[in-house]
Structure 1
């Protein structure tokens, strides 16, 4: 059976798209809502432009790794996306297709009638390894199919993202 390569989830946020974009387009703020990200480094401040490179520090169940990412879309108040193009330790990284991440922002009306934003976060598996090898890796790294693991991560990430953005707007 072929592995699922794309997972998406959405949340309604009581804030304008500009407030959401300010958060998701600045990787140094990702630890505020991501279950795995512990920090990011970049030569830029604030929202990153297309082509900008950043490194992310990540942790899962005591395992730590670094990713090298490049911004692939930076449409203010609409869409921010990046690709993970390398993964590994501080000195050695495997350069290969790893994953793509996207935040799509759409103006929306909340259930109470106030304006807000629908945030859709999408993860795409860009690994080129054969499915049997991926299943073995996934069983060790995430205790099951990676897509199932990412579905849970996206749900957690989006709930935290909503809380951070709404707190920022209230402040």
Structure 2
């Protein structure tokens, strides 16, 4: 069976699309919602990134820590934000290549905004058996598609709680294997 290369999930949040976009499009804020990403070093913290912006994502899964090099590929205020992960490493993003794409869409609905988060595996040249072996090692037993599916749902739930004034989510890295942005 061929591996799943993309997963996504959506949630409706009682907030305006532009307000949600402005938060998501500032990668330094992702640590507020992600169970794995702890934020990012961006050129202009507190402001939405624009197409071409490069940033360094910081991540934690259990005791493991790593950084990624990312480039914003889409930035349409109130509608869509996306970035490619192009390098990864323990302290410096040295291993370069197509790693993943993360995208967020914002659709106005009667109750507020439908936010959709998607992850696309950039390792299309990896043989399925090699990707599966790496995925299970890196995630504690899951394929990245399954791993990311669960973590996207957790990130969206935390974003909703935050935007609507609800309870906060677990701190990054306080999970048993499930973590979002495994490549971020």
Count of paired positions: 163
Matching of residue 164 in structure 1 with residue 162 in structure 2: yes
- Larger Rg belongs to: 1
Matched residue, 1:123: 119
Q: Which has the higher helix share?
A: 1
**Match of residue 77 from structure 1:** 78
Moved runs in structure 1, 4+ residues, more than 3 A?
none
- Structure 2 gaps of 5+ residues are 167-184
Matched, 1:3 2:15: no
CA contact (8 A) 1:36 1:59 kept: yes
Two-structure CA RMSD over aligned residues (Å): 1.2
How far 1:73 moved relative to its partner?
Answer: 0.3
Runs (5+) with no aligned partner, structure 1: 111-115
Q: Greater strand share, 1 or 2?
A: 1
2: distance between equivalents of 1:166 and 1:23? 13
User: Is 2:67–2:92's contact at 8 Å kept on the other side of the alignment?
Assistant: no
TM-score, scaled relative to structure 1: 0.92
Secondary structure of the residue aligned to 1:144 is: coil
**1:147: which partner in 2?**
145
TM superposition shift of 1:89? 2.2
